[in-house]
């Protein structure tokens, strides 16, 4: 949009190295028109079809609606047709004609309804209407919306108008907030028209801020939409901007391909200026690829159009041609072009290319051996760069962009409409804006924290399933072998642990006689008895089949035998009565561990003791290391005599001393 050039005076807030330094700010506001469908949907299908034609064939639309001041079909229909004409002028890079068309309608305010007023404001803002005028009109329309039930599309279109006005006035940090909000609000069915506009505008702002990959992802959404709806001229503009984004990120071959595809679809006859911008960008990409012979005619062609239309972009072409002269060794020609450009430095200041021109002339002077002139130009370039740097604004842009990316896909449109309703905002109130950003960041953090907690909970659940026996609910063999270091450690206690390996006697006979269902019931009730009688620091696990392991952590073998006697005494009540009256007995092998001894070695000793118990007639307990016994009652229990009078809850003196030394935690897997 050519008229937008003057709006950027003294707002060159971004620039890059080499030829891209010159072109990026220029092409973010100039070049091909917007070429998107109207923001508000027209009231009838035939009027909406006109708006769609503005992106398909704008010259034909202008021809078909020529002479429409007769207002055929009624005032309101005429107003929407004029809005479509303004859009067509916009597509053809004729902003003055677009604004003039909008003015014709707004002067007849008596019949202009609210949706049409919003559409006209959006179109005027895209064609260089002053920021203060956009802000004033948008505030008035917002108040009118508040007096009725505001719809999301109307709110989003007003945000697009204000965001575009801020972008063209050189305040991208404000533009990105409004455009990102409009992007989020319009995601959903029935909101495609404003969504594609917000997407294209947001892509251009993010690209200018340096987020080229995000910008390309957004512009590809627009390309997909325009391809689906056969909007040929609009698609030419989309490809043009994707080429720009590729150019700014250094993907020169991809940029050339996009510019070539855009050139094929662009109506050169009806939009010579837009086509000249394509030539300009192609020239810049070819220069970066050092294809100077191919670049030269394109730059000359663009220069001729810019001179004919009195486009300030002609200065940018001269700068590119000067660079080609420097790269090809034609220093005198390059110096002549640069001297002519820098005679009027203000022509370049709007695009932040004056520093680049001075830097290039410094390179030319140095190549020609003019050291003093090179130093003077380089010093001037550095001073201009420093004057134009604006760290605070860049930081705000980055913060706003991060906020947009964090909650773009998560927040619901209605919530954003309430929180970001621009009628209740004032962009001058910085504190309010930062509070909104903090809210968005907190929502993202809460969501991330919730997902993290859910992930941890899921992993714990999987771990429990892997470490638990599904039939009995006890820990399984995998859990014990994976935690054996903590299971048998004597550190901090001074007392060894005791391990008992239990086996249900004649379990195969139970299965054969009563069936596997009864056998499973026996195992479940037997496991429940073991778990209920074990101490809080003891560990009970199913080792496999009808075998169970009890680990009495930091307790003596005598204590273990008393617990086993308690289990045997409760079998009739806790197991037999609950398992169809099946008589249940068990044998056990008991052993004590030594410090650092592997669990498998301890289990092997307990298994040998269990084997002896079975050989000696079953229904008894055997100890592998007899010296671990500390009382006569333990000797009686070993050979399967009458149970001791001591209960499992009454440890002997040695056990009490060990328990007082520390309180170990219960083993978990």
Give residue-wise pLDDT tens across range 571-581. Answer: 988 888 887 78
- In sequence order, the 6+-apart residues with CB closer than 8 A to the CB of 667 are 475, 483, 486, 487, 539, 551, 553
Run of H or E residues at 540:
strand 539-544
Q: Is 353 exposed, middle or buried (0-12, 13-18, 19+ CB in 10 A)?
A: buried
- State whether CATH 1.10.30 applies to domain 33-209: no
Give the pLDDT of residue 281: 95
pLDDT computed for residue 338 by the predictor: 93
- Identify whether the C-beta of residue 199 lies closer than 8 Å to the C-beta of residue 224: no
Alpha helices (runs of H) in 408-545, residue ranges in sequence order: 413-419, 430-467, 477-482, 484-488, 507-514, 516-533
Per the structure block, which two tokens stand in for 636? 């009686």
Supply the pLDDT for residue 183.
92
How much is the average pLDDT of 539-558? 92
Among 71-80, 162-171, 333-342, name the one with the lowest average pLDDT: 71-80
Q: What angle do CA 402, 27, 256 make, to 5 degrees?
A: 95
Going from the C-alpha of 293 to that of each of 71, 324, 331, 564, the distances in angstroms are 53, 9, 17, 96
With bands split at pLDDT 50, 70 and 90, how would you rate the model's confidence at 588?
Answer: very high
Provide mean pLDDT across the span 254-280: 90
Judged against a pLDDT cut of 90, whether residue 485 lies above it is answered with no
- Cα–Cα dist 8/29, whole Å: 9
Tokens of 356: 């680049």
Written as six digits, the tokens of 244 are 């720009």
To the question of domain 477-614 being in CATH 3.30.70.270, the answer is yes
Q: Is the pLDDT of residue 344 over 90?
A: no
Q: Give residue 247's pLDDT.
A: 94
Q: What percent of the chain has pLDDT over 90?
A: 37
pLDDT band at 490 (very low <50, low <70, confident <90, very high): low
Which tokens sit at 394? 């860049």
- 268 phi/psi in degrees, rounded to 5: -60, -40
Please compute, for residue 81, the number of CA atoms within 13 A of its CA located in the half-sphere on the CB side.
Answer: 19
pLDDT tens digits, one per residue of 128-157: 888 898 888 888 888 888 777 668 999 999
Q: Hey, what long-range contacts does 440-446 have (CB within 8 A, 24 or more apart)?
A: 440/403, 440/406, 440/407, 440/411, 441/403, 441/406, 443/407, 443/410, 443/411, 444/406, 444/407, 444/410
What's the pLDDT band for 258 if we cut at 50, 70, 90? very high
Q: What is the CB neighbour count within 10 angstroms for residue 146? A: 12
Q: In the 8-state DSSP scheme, what is residue 574?
A: I
Rounded distance between C-alpha atoms, residue 418 and residue 146, angstroms: 12
- Residue with the larger pLDDT of the pair 213 and 418: 213
- For residues 472 and 408, what is the distance between their CA atoms, to the nearest angstrom? 48
The residue to which tokens 């990409």 are assigned: 285
* pLDDT higher than 80, residue 6: no
Q: List the structure tokens of 467.
A: 């470490």
- Helices and strands, counts by H and E, the chain: 31, 5
What was the pLDDT predicted at 423?
56
How many Cβ atoms are within 10 Å of 587's Cβ, its own excluded? 25
pTM: 0.55
Q: Is the confidence at residue 440, as pLDDT, over 80? A: no
Report pLDDT for 402.
46
d(CA 179, CA 159): 7
CA distance 74 to 93: 29
**84, 102, 103, 88: which is closest to 33 by C-alpha?**
88
Tell me the percentage of the chain whose pLDDT exceeds 70. 75
Q: Give CA–CA dist 394/391, Å, rounded.
A: 5
Question: How far, in whole angstroms, is CA 318 from its chain's centroid?
Answer: 42
- Helix/strand/coil for 492: coil
| pLDDT for position 242 | 96
* Domain boundary assignment for the chain: 33-209, 477-614
Which 3-state string (H, E, C) describes 315-335? HHHHHHHHHHHHHCCCHHHHH
Residue 630 three-state SS: coil
Give how far Cα 571 sits from Cα of 191, 429, 520, 559, 586, Å: 72, 78, 16, 19, 9
- Enter the tokens of residue 499: 């391990």
Instruction: Determine the distance from the C-alpha atom of residue 417 to the mean position of all C-alpha atoms in its chain, rounded to a whole number.
Output: 21
pLDDT of residue 392: 46
Q: What is the rounded CA–CA span in Å between residue 307 and residue 129?
A: 25
pLDDT range class, residue 409, cuts 50, 70, 90 = very low
**What is the CB-side half-sphere exposure of residue 582 using CA atoms within 13 A?**
29
> Which stretch of 16-30, 110-124, 156-170 has the lowest confidence by average pLDDT?
16-30
109-123, 205-219, 254-268, 608-622: segment of lowest average pLDDT: 109-123
**Mean per-residue pLDDT over the chain, rounded:** 79
Lowest mean pLDDT among 174-188, 335-349, 637-651: 637-651
State the pLDDT confidence band at 635, using cuts at 50, 70 and 90.
Answer: very low
Angle at 106 between CA 104 and CA 112, to 5 degrees: 120
Q: What is residue 232's predicted lDDT score, i.e. its pLDDT?
A: 84
User: What is the structure's pLDDT at 618?
Assistant: 94
* CA-wise closest residue to 419 among 435, 399, 397: 435
Q: Which residue has the higher pLDDT, 38 or 47?
A: 47
Give me 599's structure tokens: 């669990």
Query: Kind and range of the H or E element at 362?
Result: helix 354-367
**Residue 220 confidence (pLDDT) above 90:** yes
Confidence at residue 69, expressed as pLDDT on a 0 to 100 scale: 56
Q: What digits encode the pLDDT tens for the residues 228-256?
A: 988 888 899 999 999 999 999 999 999 99
Beta strands in 265-333 (DSSP E): none
Query: What's the chain's Rg over C-alpha atoms?
Result: 41
Residue 289 Cα distances to 263, 320, 337, 543, angstroms: 19, 13, 22, 71
């Amino acid at each position: 949009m050519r008229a937008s050039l003057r709006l950027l005076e003294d707002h060159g807030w971004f620039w890059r190295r080499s030829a891209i330094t010159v072109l990026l700010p220029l092409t973010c506001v100039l070049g091909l028109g917007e070429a998107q469908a109207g923001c508000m949907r027209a009231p009838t299908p035939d009027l909406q079809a006109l708006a769609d034609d503005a992106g398909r064939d704008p010259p034909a639309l202008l021809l078909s609606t020529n002479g429409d001041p007769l207002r055929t079909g009624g005032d309101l229909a005429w107003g929407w047709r004029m809005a479509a004409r303004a859009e067509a002028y916009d597509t053809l890079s004729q902003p003055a004609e677009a604004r003039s068309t909008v003015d014709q309608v707004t002067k007849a305010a008596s019949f202009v309804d609210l949706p049409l007023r919003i559409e006209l404001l959006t179109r005027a803002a895209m064609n260089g209407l002053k920021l203060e005028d956009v802000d004033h009109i948008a505030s008035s329309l917002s108040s009118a919306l508040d007096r009725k039930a505001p719809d999301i599309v109307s709110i989003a279109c007003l945000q697009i108008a204000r965001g575009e006005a801020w972008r063209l006035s050189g305040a991208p940090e404000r533009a990105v907030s409004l455009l990102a909000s409009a992007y989020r609000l319009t995601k959903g069915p029935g909101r495609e028209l404003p969504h594609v506009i917000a997407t294209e505008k947001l892509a251009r702002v993010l690209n200018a801020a340096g987020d080229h990959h995000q910008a390309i992802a957004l512009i590809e959404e627009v390309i997909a939409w325009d391809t689906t709806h056969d909007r040929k001229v609009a698609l030419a503009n989309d490809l043009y901007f994707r080429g720009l984004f590729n150019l700014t990120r250094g993907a020169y071959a991809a940029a050339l391909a996009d510019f070539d595809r855009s050139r094929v679809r662009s109506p050169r006859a009806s939009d010579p200026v837009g086509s000249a911008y394509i030539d300009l960008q192609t020239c810049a990409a070819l220069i970066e690829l050092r294809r100077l012979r191919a670049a030269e005619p394109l730059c000359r062609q663009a220069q001729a159009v810019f001179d004919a239309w009195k486009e300030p972009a002609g200065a940018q072409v001269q700068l590119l041609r000067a660079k080609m002269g420097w790269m090809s060794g034609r220093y005198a020609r390059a110096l002549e072009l640069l001297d002519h450009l820098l005679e009027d430095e203000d022509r370049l200041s709007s695009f932040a290319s004056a520093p680049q021109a001075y830097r290039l002339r410094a390179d030319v002077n140095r190549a020609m051996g003019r050291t003093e002139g090179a130093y003077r130009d380089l010093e001037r370039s550095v001073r201009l760069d420093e004057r134009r740097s604006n760290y605070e604004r860049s930081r705000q842009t980055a913060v706003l962009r991060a906020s947009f990316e964090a909650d773009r896909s998560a927040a619901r449109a209605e919530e954003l409409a309430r929180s970001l309703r621009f009628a209740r905002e004032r962009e001058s109130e910085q504190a309010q804006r930062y509070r909104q950003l903090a809210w968005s960041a907190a929502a993202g953090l809460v969501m991330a924290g919730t997902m993290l907690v859910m992930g941890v909970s899921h992993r714990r659940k999987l771990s429990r399933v892997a470490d638990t026996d599904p039939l009995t609910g006890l820990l399984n063999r995998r859990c014990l072998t994976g935690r054996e270091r903590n299971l048998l450690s004597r550190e901090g206690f001074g007392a060894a642990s005791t391990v008992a390996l239990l086996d249900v006697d004649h379990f195969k006979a139970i299965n054969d006689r009563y069936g596997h269902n009864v056998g499973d019931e026996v195992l479940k009730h037997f496991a429940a008895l073991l778990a209920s009688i074990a101490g809080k620091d003891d560990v009970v696990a199913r080792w496999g089949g009808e075998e169970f392991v009890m680990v009495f952590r930091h307790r003596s073998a005598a204590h273990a035998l008393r617990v086993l006697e308690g289990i045997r005494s409760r079998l009739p009540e806790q197991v037999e009565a609950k398992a169809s009256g099946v008589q249940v007995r068990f044998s056990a092998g008991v052993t004590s561990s030594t410090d650092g001894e592997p669990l498998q070695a301890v289990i092997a000793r307990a298994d040998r003791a269990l084997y002896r118990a079975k050989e000696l007639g079953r229904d008894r307990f055997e100890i592998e290391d007899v010296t671990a016994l500390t009382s006569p009652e333990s000797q009686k229990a070993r050979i399967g005599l009458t149970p001791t009078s001591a209960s499992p809850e009454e440890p002997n003196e040695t056990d009490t001393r060990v328990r007082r030394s520390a309180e170990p935690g219960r083993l978990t897997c």
